[in-house]
Amino acid sequence: MTVEAFLAECAEHNDLSRVMGLFTNSIIEQLTRSAICNRFHTTESRLARWLLMTQDRMRSDDFRITQEILSYMVGVRREAINKSATSFARRNLISYTRGHMSITDRKGLKDIACNCYGMLAMPV
Give the pLDDT of residue 35.
86
What is the band of 124 on the pLDDT scale with cuts at 50, 70, 90?
very low
71-116, pLDDT tens digit by residue?
998 989 999 999 999 999 999 999 998 889 999 999 999 999 988 8
- Three-class DSSP category at 96: strand
Provide CATH code, domain 42-124.
1.10.10.10
Please name which of 10, 41, 40, 5 lies closest in space to residue 24, comparing C-alpha atoms. Answer: 10
The Cα–Cα gap between 74 and 52 comes to 13
- Specify the range with the lowest mean pLDDT, choosing from 22-26, 109-113, 118-122: 118-122
Q: Domain-by-domain residue ranges, the chain?
A: 1-40, 42-124
